[in-house]
């Protein structure tokens, strides 16, 4: 027996649900919003997070409070944020490290991006630079690769630690160019940079803004960048020097816990895009060596997944995955 009122009832329910979701987004936020930065204060992630939180507070008339929850390469704060109620009142500042390279090298990571998170927007990207100590007497990438092949097992590079973004980036460069580099892991980026300046290690892969002052002072020699830089216009990219499809960059974005209403995700994406379109915000990001990005939540989710797969496959092939 056909019940003619069922389709109408279903349509009414769906309409009511849509109205309820839209109303939820229109009312959001209803209290202070926690913006979790899973790293200590002062770094690029923190600066970008605070900038966006300030602008969201101004646009929406509610308080967005930055909370620094550092530890375990960002895994501690990331896990805590993603375990929060999915109501739009906890926003996580994410990076290539926390959403791509850390899960790629830690199969037992305390969170799964595809299960526990919803990507919202790519806020900004920062280029990286490959540098050498002046004593090495090389100025280009081909010269560096030639030196490494003529001196196998001698050319060392430092990173903030095993499984770090720099570690994977250098492993990828070695795989693409059939070149052997010796990895020296440090406890943080600062000690690695200091030893590179001192000549204890000969090669360093790091963010442009972090190392620009040392490069300009002549303490390190840039041989390649992942993207052309106005601050170093004479330094060519990896691709321009014969290494195609190699431009590992650091991105910074926003995410929320899985289950957050889509309408809230859409509104947060819309507000963040408006913030990134502001010339003053672009200038502030540029001062950090970052380029404002923006775009859809779907595009950012695809970027996160593609990066994760690339680094996971490399980590498996190079035996860089960790059990803890």
pLDDT at 289: 83
pLDDT at 5: 45
Q: Residue 16 CB: number of other CB atoms within 10 A?
A: 10
pLDDT at 28: 95
pLDDT at 1: 44
pLDDT at 24: 59
| Domains of the chain, start order | 33-125+249-318 (3.40.190.150), 128-241 (3.40.190.10)
pLDDT at 189: 86
Q: Residue 191 CB: number of other CB atoms within 10 A?
A: 13
pLDDT at 229: 82
pLDDT at 323: 74
pLDDT at 177: 96
Parts of the chain with a pLDDT under 70: 1-25, 324
- Rounded Cα distance between 237 and 128, Å, is 10
Q: Residue 210 CB: number of other CB atoms within 10 A?
A: 18
């Amino acid at each position: 027996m056909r019940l003619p009122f069922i389709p109408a009832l279903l349509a009414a329910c769906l309409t009511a649900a849509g109205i309820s979701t839209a109303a939820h987004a229109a009312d959001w936020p209803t209290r202070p919003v926690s913006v979790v930065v899973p790293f200590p204060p002062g770094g690029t992630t923190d600066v970008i997070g605070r900038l966006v939180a300030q602008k969201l507070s101004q646009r929406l008339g509610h308080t967005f409070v930055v909370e620094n929850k550092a530890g375990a390469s960002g895994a501690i704060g990331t896990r805590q944020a993603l375990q929060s109620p999915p109501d739009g009142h906890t926003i996580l500042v994410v990076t290539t490290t926390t959403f791509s390279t850390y899960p790629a090298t830690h199969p037992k990571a305390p969170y799964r991006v595809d299960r526990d998170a919803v990507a919202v927007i790519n806020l900004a990207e920062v280029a990286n630079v490959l540098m050498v100590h002046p004593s090495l007497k090389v100025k280009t990438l081909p010269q560096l690769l030639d030196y490494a092949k003529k001196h196998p097992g001698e050319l060392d590079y430092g990173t903030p630690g095993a499984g770090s973004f720099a570690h994977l980036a250098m492993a990828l460069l070695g795989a693409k160019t059939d070149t052997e580099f010796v990895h020296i892991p440090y406890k943080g980026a600062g000690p690695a940079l200091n030893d590179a300046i001192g000549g204890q290690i000969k090669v360093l892969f790091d963010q442009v803004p972090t190392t620009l002052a040392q490069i300009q002072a002549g303490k390190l020699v840039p041989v390649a960048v992942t993207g052309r830089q106005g601050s170093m216009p004479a330094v060519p990219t990896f691709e321009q020097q014969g290494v195609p499809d190699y431009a590992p960059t650091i991105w910074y974005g926003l995410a929320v816990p899985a289950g957050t209403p889509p309408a809230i995700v859409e509104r947060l994406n819309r507000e963040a895009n408006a913030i990134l379109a502001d010339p003053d915000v672009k200038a502030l990001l540029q001062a950090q060596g970052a380029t404002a990005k923006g775009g859809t939540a779907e595009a950012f989710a695809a970027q996160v997944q593609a990066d994760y797969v690339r680094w996971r496959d490399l980590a498996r092939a190079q035996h860089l995955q960790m059990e803890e």
